[in-house]
A and B are shown apart, each in its own frame.
Chain A
Protein backbone atom coordinates (compact mmCIF):
# COMPACT_ATOMS: atom_id res chain seq x y z
CA UNK A 1 0.00 0.00 0.00
CA UNK A 2 1.03 3.61 -0.51
CA UNK A 3 1.79 5.28 2.82
CA UNK A 4 2.14 9.06 3.07
CA UNK A 5 4.66 10.13 5.71
CA UNK A 6 5.46 13.71 6.77
CA UNK A 7 9.23 14.20 6.71
CA UNK A 8 11.94 16.76 7.33
CA UNK A 9 14.00 15.76 4.24
CA UNK A 10 13.25 13.93 0.97
CA UNK A 11 14.64 10.47 1.78
CA UNK A 12 13.85 7.40 3.91
CA UNK A 13 16.45 8.13 6.58
CA UNK A 14 15.04 11.60 7.20
CA UNK A 15 13.36 12.21 10.53
CA UNK A 16 9.59 12.16 10.54
CA UNK A 17 8.21 15.70 10.63
CA UNK A 18 5.73 15.67 13.53
CA UNK A 19 3.42 18.20 11.83
CA UNK A 20 1.27 17.07 8.93
CA UNK A 21 -0.15 20.22 7.34
CA UNK A 22 3.06 22.24 7.59
CA UNK A 23 5.63 19.47 7.22
CA UNK A 24 8.59 20.09 4.95
CA UNK A 25 8.27 17.04 2.70
CA UNK A 26 5.62 14.49 1.92
CA UNK A 27 7.00 11.02 1.16
CA UNK A 28 4.72 8.46 -0.44
CA UNK A 29 6.27 5.08 0.39
CA UNK A 30 5.30 1.77 -1.21
CA UNK A 31 5.16 -0.49 1.85
CA UNK A 32 6.07 -3.65 -0.12
CA UNK A 33 9.01 -2.40 -2.12
CA UNK A 34 10.05 0.61 0.02
CA UNK A 35 10.23 2.64 -3.19
CA UNK A 36 9.15 6.18 -2.56
CA UNK A 37 8.33 9.55 -4.11
CA UNK A 38 9.20 12.72 -2.23
CA UNK A 39 7.72 16.12 -2.85
CA UNK A 40 8.13 19.43 -1.06
CA UNK A 41 4.93 20.03 0.84
CA UNK A 42 3.08 22.74 -1.15
CA UNK A 43 1.29 23.77 2.03
CA UNK A 44 4.36 24.43 4.14
CA UNK A 45 4.15 28.20 3.88
CA UNK A 46 0.50 28.58 2.93
CA UNK A 47 -1.04 31.65 4.59
CA UNK A 48 -4.06 29.54 5.53
CA UNK A 49 -5.62 26.15 4.97
CA UNK A 50 -2.31 24.29 5.12
CA UNK A 51 -4.00 21.14 6.43
CA UNK A 52 -6.51 21.24 3.59
CA UNK A 53 -3.78 21.67 0.98
CA UNK A 54 -1.48 18.96 2.36
CA UNK A 55 -4.39 16.52 2.62
CA UNK A 56 -5.44 17.32 -0.94
CA UNK A 57 -1.87 16.70 -2.15
CA UNK A 58 -1.76 13.33 -0.40
CA UNK A 59 -5.15 12.34 -1.85
CA UNK A 60 -4.05 13.38 -5.33
CA UNK A 61 -0.99 11.11 -4.95
CA UNK A 62 -3.27 8.16 -4.22
CA UNK A 63 -2.09 7.53 -0.68
CA UNK A 64 -3.86 4.76 1.23
CA UNK A 65 -2.85 5.99 4.68
CA UNK A 66 -1.13 8.91 6.41
CA UNK A 67 1.40 8.38 9.22
CA UNK A 68 2.55 11.48 11.08
CA UNK A 69 3.11 13.07 14.50
CA UNK A 70 -0.12 15.07 14.75
CA UNK A 71 -2.96 15.94 12.42
CA UNK A 72 -5.15 19.05 12.72
CA UNK A 73 -8.89 19.37 12.23
CA UNK A 74 -9.01 20.56 8.60
CA UNK A 75 -6.55 17.93 7.38
CA UNK A 76 -8.40 15.26 9.35
CA UNK A 77 -11.73 16.31 7.86
CA UNK A 78 -10.44 16.13 4.28
CA UNK A 79 -8.58 12.83 4.76
CA UNK A 80 -11.47 11.08 6.45
CA UNK A 81 -13.92 12.33 3.81
CA UNK A 82 -11.61 10.71 1.26
CA UNK A 83 -11.45 7.50 3.27
CA UNK A 84 -7.73 7.80 4.07
CA UNK A 85 -6.98 6.65 7.64
CA UNK A 86 -4.62 8.79 9.71
CA UNK A 87 -2.11 7.43 12.22
CA UNK A 88 -0.41 9.77 14.72
CA UNK A 89 2.21 9.69 17.42
CA UNK A 90 4.98 8.45 15.12
CA UNK A 91 8.62 9.46 15.52
CA UNK A 92 12.04 8.44 14.27
CA UNK A 93 13.21 7.99 10.69
CA UNK A 94 10.71 7.53 7.87
CA UNK A 95 12.11 4.03 7.31
CA UNK A 96 11.54 3.05 10.96
CA UNK A 97 8.10 4.62 10.99
CA UNK A 98 6.97 2.65 7.93
CA UNK A 99 8.35 -0.57 9.47
CA UNK A 100 6.47 0.10 12.70
CA UNK A 101 3.32 0.83 10.73
CA UNK A 102 3.60 -2.46 8.86
CA UNK A 103 4.00 -4.26 12.22
CA UNK A 104 0.64 -2.78 13.19
CA UNK A 105 1.97 -0.54 15.98
CA UNK A 106 -0.34 2.38 15.13
CA UNK A 107 -4.12 2.74 15.41
CA UNK A 108 -6.13 5.10 13.21
CA UNK A 109 -7.45 8.24 14.92
CA UNK A 110 -11.13 9.07 15.05
CA UNK A 111 -10.66 12.82 15.40
CA UNK A 112 -7.99 15.50 14.93
CA UNK A 113 -5.06 15.15 17.30
CA UNK A 114 -3.88 18.76 17.11
CA UNK A 115 -5.58 22.13 17.50
CA UNK A 116 -5.94 24.48 14.53
CA UNK A 117 -2.67 26.15 13.57
CA UNK A 118 -0.57 23.94 15.87
CA UNK A 119 1.93 23.35 13.06
CA UNK A 120 2.75 27.04 12.99
CA UNK A 121 3.89 26.78 16.60
CA UNK A 122 6.53 24.18 15.72
CA UNK A 123 4.17 21.28 16.23
CA UNK A 124 4.71 21.32 19.96
CA UNK A 125 1.82 23.42 21.29
CA UNK A 126 -1.70 21.96 21.42
Chain B
Protein backbone atom coordinates (compact mmCIF):
# COMPACT_ATOMS: atom_id res chain seq x y z
CA UNK B 1 0.00 0.00 0.00
CA UNK B 2 1.09 3.55 -0.65
CA UNK B 3 0.48 6.01 2.16
CA UNK B 4 1.18 9.70 1.68
CA UNK B 5 1.81 11.98 4.64
CA UNK B 6 0.90 15.58 3.79
CA UNK B 7 -0.36 18.60 5.66
CA UNK B 8 -1.20 21.88 4.09
CA UNK B 9 0.48 24.07 6.65
CA UNK B 10 4.21 23.52 6.90
CA UNK B 11 5.96 22.44 10.05
CA UNK B 12 3.04 20.44 11.45
CA UNK B 13 4.92 17.16 11.83
CA UNK B 14 4.69 15.23 8.53
CA UNK B 15 8.23 13.90 8.76
CA UNK B 16 7.80 13.12 12.44
CA UNK B 17 4.76 11.00 11.63
CA UNK B 18 6.26 9.45 8.48
CA UNK B 19 9.49 8.39 10.18
CA UNK B 20 7.75 7.25 13.37
CA UNK B 21 5.36 5.11 11.34
CA UNK B 22 8.26 3.57 9.44
CA UNK B 23 10.19 2.70 12.59
CA UNK B 24 7.06 1.32 14.28
CA UNK B 25 6.29 -0.97 11.33
CA UNK B 26 9.78 -2.10 10.34
CA UNK B 27 9.63 -5.35 12.29
CA UNK B 28 6.20 -6.35 11.02
CA UNK B 29 6.47 -5.83 7.24
CA UNK B 30 8.78 -4.50 4.54
CA UNK B 31 8.67 -0.71 4.81
CA UNK B 32 10.00 1.95 2.48
CA UNK B 33 10.16 5.70 3.08
CA UNK B 34 10.24 7.94 0.02
CA UNK B 35 11.17 11.54 0.81
CA UNK B 36 9.26 13.49 -1.83
CA UNK B 37 10.05 16.92 -0.40
CA UNK B 38 12.80 17.30 -2.97
CA UNK B 39 13.26 21.02 -2.29
CA UNK B 40 13.93 20.56 1.44
CA UNK B 41 14.38 16.86 2.18
CA UNK B 42 14.66 16.05 5.88
CA UNK B 43 13.44 12.47 6.41
CA UNK B 44 17.03 11.31 6.30
CA UNK B 45 17.82 13.27 9.46
CA UNK B 46 16.04 11.05 11.99
CA UNK B 47 16.40 7.87 9.91
CA UNK B 48 20.11 8.27 9.00
CA UNK B 49 19.99 5.94 5.99
CA UNK B 50 23.17 4.63 4.41
CA UNK B 51 22.84 5.39 0.70
CA UNK B 52 24.03 2.90 -1.85
CA UNK B 53 23.03 4.45 -5.14
CA UNK B 54 22.32 7.78 -6.72
CA UNK B 55 21.23 8.83 -10.16
CA UNK B 56 20.80 12.16 -11.97
CA UNK B 57 17.26 13.22 -12.89
CA UNK B 58 17.00 14.85 -16.30
CA UNK B 59 14.30 16.70 -18.22
CA UNK B 60 14.36 16.44 -22.02
CA UNK B 61 14.98 19.82 -23.66
CA UNK B 62 14.97 20.61 -27.39
CA UNK B 63 18.10 20.76 -29.52
CA UNK B 64 17.57 22.35 -32.94
CA UNK B 65 19.54 21.18 -35.99
CA UNK B 66 20.30 24.46 -37.77
CA UNK B 67 20.91 22.61 -41.05
CA UNK B 68 17.38 21.24 -41.14
CA UNK B 69 15.48 24.13 -39.54
CA UNK B 70 13.39 26.22 -41.93
CA UNK B 71 12.53 28.86 -39.29
CA UNK B 72 8.85 28.22 -39.89
CA UNK B 73 8.09 29.04 -36.24
CA UNK B 74 5.60 26.19 -35.68
CA UNK B 75 7.60 24.99 -32.67
CA UNK B 76 7.31 28.42 -31.06
CA UNK B 77 3.57 28.58 -31.76
CA UNK B 78 2.95 25.21 -30.15
CA UNK B 79 5.13 25.66 -27.07
CA UNK B 80 2.87 26.29 -24.08
CA UNK B 81 5.78 27.40 -21.91
CA UNK B 82 7.41 30.01 -24.17
CA UNK B 83 10.62 28.01 -24.15
CA UNK B 84 11.40 28.40 -27.85
CA UNK B 85 11.46 31.55 -30.00
CA UNK B 86 12.03 31.88 -33.75
CA UNK B 87 13.14 34.89 -35.79
CA UNK B 88 13.99 34.90 -39.51
CA UNK B 89 17.27 33.09 -39.22
CA UNK B 90 17.59 32.30 -35.54
CA UNK B 91 16.03 29.80 -33.12
CA UNK B 92 16.47 30.39 -29.40
CA UNK B 93 15.64 27.82 -26.76
CA UNK B 94 15.12 28.58 -23.05
CA UNK B 95 15.86 25.27 -21.29
CA UNK B 96 14.89 26.54 -17.82
CA UNK B 97 11.35 27.30 -19.07
CA UNK B 98 11.03 23.95 -20.89
CA UNK B 99 8.70 21.40 -19.28
CA UNK B 100 9.97 18.53 -21.45
CA UNK B 101 6.55 17.92 -23.04
CA UNK B 102 8.07 17.05 -26.45
CA UNK B 103 5.49 19.03 -28.46
CA UNK B 104 8.09 21.03 -30.39
CA UNK B 105 9.99 18.01 -31.64
CA UNK B 106 6.72 16.25 -32.40
CA UNK B 107 5.33 19.01 -34.63
CA UNK B 108 8.52 20.12 -36.36
CA UNK B 109 7.80 19.56 -40.08
CA UNK B 110 11.53 19.38 -40.88
CA UNK B 111 12.36 16.90 -38.13
CA UNK B 112 14.96 19.38 -36.94
CA UNK B 113 14.35 19.05 -33.20
CA UNK B 114 15.84 16.31 -31.07
CA UNK B 115 15.87 16.06 -27.29
CA UNK B 116 18.73 15.94 -24.84
CA UNK B 117 18.60 15.54 -21.08
CA UNK B 118 19.10 18.54 -18.84
CA UNK B 119 19.99 17.62 -15.28
CA UNK B 120 17.59 19.07 -12.69
CA UNK B 121 18.32 17.01 -9.58
CA UNK B 122 19.23 13.60 -8.18
CA UNK B 123 17.57 10.61 -6.56
CA UNK B 124 19.34 8.45 -4.00
CA UNK B 125 18.42 5.21 -2.29
CA UNK B 126 19.66 3.09 0.56
CA UNK B 127 18.64 1.57 3.89
CA UNK B 128 18.14 2.66 7.47
CA UNK B 129 18.23 -0.64 9.30
CA UNK B 130 15.25 -2.62 8.05
CA UNK B 131 13.65 0.46 6.48
CA UNK B 132 14.31 1.02 2.78
CA UNK B 133 14.81 4.63 1.89
CA UNK B 134 14.86 6.80 -1.20
CA UNK B 135 14.81 10.53 -1.60
CA UNK B 136 15.34 13.22 -4.16
CA UNK B 137 17.00 16.60 -4.26
CA UNK B 138 16.10 19.33 -6.72
CA UNK B 139 19.10 21.38 -7.86
CA UNK B 140 19.25 24.87 -6.37
CA UNK B 141 17.69 27.41 -8.73
CA UNK B 142 15.41 24.94 -10.49
CA UNK B 143 11.72 25.86 -10.52
CA UNK B 144 10.05 22.52 -11.16
CA UNK B 145 10.06 19.77 -8.54
CA UNK B 146 7.74 17.45 -10.49
CA UNK B 147 10.30 15.50 -12.51
CA UNK B 148 12.41 14.74 -9.42
CA UNK B 149 9.36 13.73 -7.39
CA UNK B 150 8.25 11.39 -10.18
CA UNK B 151 11.72 9.87 -10.22
CA UNK B 152 11.56 9.25 -6.45
CA UNK B 153 8.10 7.67 -6.71
CA UNK B 154 9.45 5.52 -9.54
CA UNK B 155 11.63 3.78 -6.94
CA UNK B 156 8.60 2.59 -4.93
CA UNK B 157 8.84 -1.06 -3.98
CA UNK B 158 5.52 -2.72 -4.91
CA UNK B 159 6.10 -5.40 -2.28
CA UNK B 160 6.55 -2.94 0.58
CA UNK B 161 4.41 -0.58 2.59
CA UNK B 162 5.50 2.69 0.98
CA UNK B 163 5.36 5.87 3.06
CA UNK B 164 5.63 9.10 1.05
CA UNK B 165 6.84 12.12 3.02
CA UNK B 166 5.20 14.94 1.07
CA UNK B 167 6.32 18.56 0.79
CA UNK B 168 4.37 21.22 2.70
CA UNK B 169 1.63 23.21 1.02
CA UNK B 170 -0.97 22.21 -1.53
CA UNK B 171 0.50 23.09 -4.90
CA UNK B 172 2.07 21.11 -7.74
CA UNK B 173 4.74 19.21 -5.79
CA UNK B 174 2.17 18.06 -3.24
CA UNK B 175 -0.34 16.99 -5.88
CA UNK B 176 2.42 15.10 -7.67
CA UNK B 177 3.36 13.32 -4.45
CA UNK B 178 -0.14 12.39 -3.27
CA UNK B 179 -1.58 11.44 -6.65
CA UNK B 180 -2.17 7.71 -6.96
CA UNK B 181 -1.72 6.95 -3.24
CA UNK B 182 -4.07 4.58 -1.45
CA UNK B 183 -4.49 6.96 1.49
CA UNK B 184 -3.31 10.36 2.64
CA UNK B 185 -2.71 11.24 6.28
CA UNK B 186 -2.99 14.98 6.82
CA UNK B 187 -0.95 16.15 9.77
CA UNK B 188 -2.24 19.38 11.23
CA UNK B 189 -2.13 21.51 14.34
CA UNK B 190 -5.22 22.76 16.21
CA UNK B 191 -4.81 26.43 15.25
CA UNK B 192 -6.55 28.79 12.80
CA UNK B 193 -3.62 28.55 10.36
CA UNK B 194 -3.56 24.78 10.69
CA UNK B 195 -7.29 24.60 9.99
CA UNK B 196 -7.15 27.04 7.08
CA UNK B 197 -4.49 25.06 5.24
CA UNK B 198 -6.03 21.73 6.21
CA UNK B 199 -9.27 22.59 4.44
CA UNK B 200 -7.35 23.29 1.23
CA UNK B 201 -5.38 20.05 1.59
CA UNK B 202 -8.61 18.10 2.02
CA UNK B 203 -9.98 19.69 -1.15
CA UNK B 204 -6.86 18.62 -3.01
CA UNK B 205 -7.10 15.03 -1.75
CA UNK B 206 -10.77 14.84 -2.69
CA UNK B 207 -10.10 16.34 -6.11
CA UNK B 208 -7.61 13.57 -6.91
CA UNK B 209 -9.71 10.86 -5.23
CA UNK B 210 -7.34 9.94 -2.42
CA UNK B 211 -9.12 9.08 0.84
CA UNK B 212 -7.76 11.02 3.79
CA UNK B 213 -7.61 11.10 7.56
CA UNK B 214 -6.14 13.56 10.03
CA UNK B 215 -3.43 13.44 12.67
CA UNK B 216 -3.55 16.35 15.11
CA UNK B 217 -0.08 17.25 16.34
CA UNK B 218 0.61 19.63 19.23
CA UNK B 219 -2.84 18.78 20.58
CA UNK B 220 -3.82 20.68 23.71
CA UNK B 221 -2.77 24.07 22.41
CA UNK B 222 -4.85 26.27 20.15
CA UNK B 223 -8.58 25.76 19.69
CA UNK B 224 -11.11 23.12 18.63
CA UNK B 225 -11.62 24.42 15.09
CA UNK B 226 -9.88 21.45 13.49
CA UNK B 227 -11.86 18.90 15.53
CA UNK B 228 -15.15 20.61 14.65
CA UNK B 229 -14.22 20.80 10.96
CA UNK B 230 -13.29 17.12 10.84
CA UNK B 231 -16.51 16.10 12.59
CA UNK B 232 -18.59 18.21 10.23
CA UNK B 233 -16.81 16.88 7.13
CA UNK B 234 -16.76 13.28 8.31
CA UNK B 235 -12.96 13.12 8.23
CA UNK B 236 -11.58 10.64 10.79
CA UNK B 237 -9.10 11.99 13.33
CA UNK B 238 -6.81 8.99 13.61
CA UNK B 239 -4.22 10.14 16.13
CA UNK B 240 -3.59 13.00 18.51
CA UNK B 241 -0.04 13.82 19.54
CA UNK B 242 0.06 16.18 22.54
CA UNK B 243 2.00 19.39 22.67
CA UNK B 244 4.94 18.15 24.72
CA UNK B 245 8.25 19.97 24.95
CA UNK B 246 10.09 16.66 25.35
CA UNK B 247 8.94 15.54 21.89
CA UNK B 248 10.25 18.78 20.38
CA UNK B 249 13.55 18.47 22.25
CA UNK B 250 14.06 14.92 21.04
CA UNK B 251 13.21 15.87 17.45
CA UNK B 252 15.71 18.72 17.59
CA UNK B 253 18.32 16.16 18.59
CA UNK B 254 17.39 14.19 15.46
CA UNK B 255 15.27 11.58 17.26
CA UNK B 256 11.82 11.07 15.91
CA UNK B 257 8.94 10.35 18.30
CA UNK B 258 8.87 6.57 17.89
CA UNK B 259 12.61 6.37 18.54
CA UNK B 260 12.74 8.75 21.54
CA UNK B 261 9.60 7.34 23.17
CA UNK B 262 9.21 3.72 22.02
CA UNK B 263 5.90 3.37 23.87
CA UNK B 264 4.41 5.39 21.00
CA UNK B 265 5.19 2.62 18.52
CA UNK B 266 2.09 0.67 19.45
CA UNK B 267 -0.03 3.75 18.74
CA UNK B 268 1.58 4.16 15.32
CA UNK B 269 0.92 0.50 14.51
CA UNK B 270 -2.73 1.00 15.44
CA UNK B 271 -2.79 4.15 13.31
CA UNK B 272 -1.55 2.10 10.39
CA UNK B 273 -4.20 -0.57 10.96
CA UNK B 274 -6.92 2.13 10.88
CA UNK B 275 -5.45 3.57 7.70
CA UNK B 276 -5.35 0.17 6.05
CA UNK B 277 -8.98 -0.44 6.96
CA UNK B 278 -10.11 2.93 5.64
CA UNK B 279 -8.07 2.59 2.45
CA UNK B 280 -9.72 -0.75 1.78
CA UNK B 281 -13.13 0.86 2.04
CA UNK B 282 -11.84 3.70 -0.14
CA UNK B 283 -14.19 6.26 1.31
CA UNK B 284 -13.30 9.96 1.21
CA UNK B 285 -15.81 11.20 3.76
- Give the B-binding residues of A (Cβ under 8 A): 43, 46-50, 52-53, 55-56, 59-60, 74, 77-78, 81-83
With beta carbons under 8 angstroms apart, the residue of A53, A74, A81 that contacts B87 is A81
Map CB proximity to A onto B59-100 as digits: 1 under 8 Å, 0 otherwise.
Answer: 000000000000001001000011101111010101001000
- Give the A-binding residues of B (Cβ under 8 A): 73, 76, 81-83, 85-88, 90, 92, 94, 97, 143
Residues of B within 8 A of A52 (CB): 82-83, 85, 92, 94, 97
With beta carbons under 8 angstroms apart, the residue of A53, A59, A60, A81 that contacts B82 is A53
Is B97 a contact partner of A56 (Cβ separation < 8 A)?
A: no
A49-B94, A52-B94, A74-B94 given; A82·B83 CB < 8 A: no
Q: From residue A45, how far is it (CB to closest CB) to chain B in Å?
A: 12
Is B90 a contact partner of A81 (Cβ separation < 8 A)?
A: yes
Residues of B within 8 A of A82 (CB): 87-88, 90
Is A49 a contact partner of B88 (Cβ separation < 8 A)?
A: no
Residues of A within 8 A of B90 (CB): 81-82
Q: Complex Cα distance A115/B164, Å?
A: 37
Most buried by A among B76, B82, B87, B94: B82
Kindly report which residue of chain B lies nearest to residue A77, judged by CB atoms. B92
A56-B76, A60-B73, A74-B94 given; A83·B82 CB < 8 A: no
With beta carbons under 8 angstroms apart, the residue of B83, B92, B97 that contacts A81 is B92
Is B87 a contact partner of A43 (Cβ separation < 8 A)?
A: no
Q: Complex Cα distance A52/B92, Å?
A: 9
Kindly report which residue of chain B lies nearest to residue A47, judged by CB atoms. B81
Residues of A within 8 A of B86 (CB): 56
A56-B76, A74-B94 given; A43·B88 CB < 8 A: no
Residues of B within 8 A of A47 (CB): 81
Residues of B within 8 A of A81 (CB): 85, 87, 90, 92
Residues of B within 8 A of A77 (CB): 92
